[in-house]
Amino acid sequence: MFKSCQSRASEASGKVLGNEQMEAEGRAKEAAGEAKQEAAKAAGRTEGKIEEVVGAVKNRIGQVIDNEQMAAEGKVKSFSS
């Protein structure tokens, strides 16, 4: 959030001062910050899906080998993601 404020301030200062380079740098920093946030969100979603799949596999294996505890743990893990 702080960097976003800095980049917006830099962009605004560039507009006020008529400094196109400063304005462009502010926009570029803000876009880079937004891209990092989106990448972090995507990584979190991916991690959640992986946990869900691992849980489903563990649940199924537990059912196949008739291990109720493993099946239950897998079920919990697949739903808690």
Distance of CA 38 to the CA centre of its chain: 6
DSSP output for 18-51: T-HHHHHHHHHHHHHHHHHHHHHHHHHHHHHHHH
Answer for the pair 55, 76: CB distance below 8 angstroms, yes or no: yes
Residue type, 75: K
Give the separation between CA 3 and CA 12, rounded to whole angstroms: 14
Tens of pLDDT along the chain (81 residues) come to 455 666 666 666 666 667 788 778 878 888 898 999 999 999 999 999 999 999 999 999 999 999 999 889 888 887 765
Number of separate domains in the chain? 1
Residue type, 19: N
Domain extent, residue 7, equals: 2-80
